[in-house]
Amino acid sequence: MVNFSFFSEKEVQRLTNANNNKNYLHLNTDFKGFKEVMDINKLNKIISMPGLWHSQNFKMVLDRNAISFNKFVTDGEKLGFSKTCPDPIIVQDYIKKGASLILDDIIYVVKNVKDLASELQYITWGKCQANLYFSMQSHQAFGPHYDTHDVFALHCDGEKVWNIYENVEDNPINHPIFKPSLDERIEKAGKIKEQVLLKPGDLLYLPRGQYHDALASKNGAIHIAFGINYMKPIDMMQFIWDQLVVNPYLRSDIKNLKSISDVHEINKKISRELDKILNDKNLFLPMLNFYKEFPYSFVDYDLKSIVADGVQYKISDSIKLSNQNGQMIISNGKNSVPVPKNFEELTNFSFSEKNISFKKLSEHFKDLPESFIDEFIGAMKQMRVFS
C-alpha cells in the first residue's frame, strides 16, 4: 500500500472514480505540496542546466507552429558549456514574442514530479510520463485536440483557461490513423462544453480522447501534463508474440486462396490456434505479472545509505561452504581451501547473509577488534570469496 503524500483519501477516491468512468475532473487541491512542485524560479533553474536539454526534450511553439531546434541551438562555446543545447538568449527572444516552451520527460529532472508521477501510477496503474508547458498570454499553443493517453494536468504558475469540448474520440492510439488535421479536429471536437480556469495547485484530469485545448490567460503560465498509458489488448498480443512464433500452424505457408470461403476457413483455423494459446493456463500467471509490472519503476539514488553502510561484498552462489571431518572448507567447484579456525564464525555468518559489509560484521561481532575483521575481509577478498 502506498502512502499518498500529495492526495487525501477523498481525492484518491475522486480521481479513481473519474479515471474508471473516464470522466474529466477539475480537482481544486489545497495541499501546498502541489504548489511546490514547480514555479517560474524552479523552471529557470532547470532550463539553466545546459547538459539536460537537447532536440528531443526542449521544444518551442509559436502561434501553433513548431520552431525548428536549429533556430535556437548553440554549440555553447561562447557561453562556456561546450555542448550543443538551446541558446538562452535566442530562446528568451522567442518567448518575448509569445512562444511557448515544452520540456518533455521531466520526471527524472525534478524530484517532486517523480514523486507525484509515482502516486498517479499507483492510482491509475499506467505508465506515466511528464511534460512541462510554459506559455505567454493569449498565445494558443495548440488547437482543439485529444491526447492518445490520459492526462493529469497540474497547474503550477500563472493562470490558464482550458476549453473542454463535448466530444470524445474512441480509444485513440499513437498511430497515423489518429492524426487528424487542425480543420478536422476543430470540426470533430464539437462545441465547448465547459471552460475551466486553472490556478496553481489545481489538477485537471482529461481521459484519453477527450477534445480540449488550453489558452494562457496570464503571462508565464506553467503546467505539467502527466500522461498515463495503460496496458491494452494490443500489448497482450505483443506479449504472447513468442507463442505465435512457436505455433507450427501460424508459421505455415498460406497457398491457393481461391474464394471468400477459403479465406473464411483459414480465419477459422487461425482463430482456433489463437484460442488455444489464449486459453493456455500456463500463460495466465505470466500475463498477470506482465500487468502487475506494467507501470514504470522510478528509481532514486540513495548514496547516503550506501555511505552509511560502507563498502558491500557479495558471495556468489557458486561458492559453497562445507564441513569435512571437522574442517570448514570453501570451494568453487574446482578448488577448495580450508578456513582457518579463528575465521570460522565470521565465515559462517557471511555465508548466511550473502551480502556482507564491515559494518554488518562489526555490529554482529561486537567483541572482535576492527583490525581482525579487516584481516578477515582482506583474506576473503584475496580468495575471491567476497566480490
Nearest distance from C-beta of residue 90 to Fe ion, angstroms? 26
Nearest distance from C-beta of residue 222 to Fe ion, angstroms? 15
Q: Give the 3-state secondary structure of the chain.
A: CCCCCCCCHHHHHHHHHHHHHCCCEEEECCCHHHHCCCCHHHHHHHHCCHHHCCCCCEEEEECCEEECHHHHEECCCCCCCCCCEECHHHHHHHHHCCCEEEECCCCCCCHHHHHHHHHHHHHHCCEEEEEEEEECCCCCCCCCECCCCEEEEEEEECCEEEEEEEEECCCCCCCHHHCCCHHHHHHHHCCEEEEEEECCCEEEEECCCEEEEEEECCCCEEEEEEEEECCCHHHHHHHCHHHHHCCHHHHCCCCCCCCHHHHHHHHHHHHHHHHHHHCCHHHHHHHHHHHHCCCCCCCCCCHHHHHHHCCEEEECCCCEEEEECCEEEEECCCCEEECCHHHHHHHHHHHHHCEEEHHHHHHHCCCCCHHHHHHHHHHHHHCCCEC
Taking CB positions, which residue lies at the least distance from Fe ion? 147
Question: Which residue from 350, 276, 358, 289 is spatially nearest to 320, judged by alpha carbons?
Answer: 350
Nearest distance from C-beta of residue 82 to Fe ion, angstroms? 36
Nearest distance from C-beta of residue 72 to Fe ion, angstroms? 23
Query: Alpha-carbon torsion 223, 229, 230, 233, what sign?
Result: positive
Nearest distance from C-beta of residue 252 to Fe ion, angstroms? 45
Nearest distance from C-beta of residue 233 to Fe ion, angstroms? 24
Taking the least distance from each CB to Fe ion, the nearer of 35 and 185 is 185
- Cβ distance 85 to 76 under 8 Å? yes
Taking the least distance from each CB to Fe ion, the nearer of 147 and 169 is 147
Look at the block and give the residue holding cell 553502510.
309
Nearest distance from C-beta of residue 129 to Fe ion, angstroms? 13
Residues that bind Fe ion (CB under 5 A): 147
Taking the least distance from each CB to Fe ion, the nearer of 147 and 157 is 147
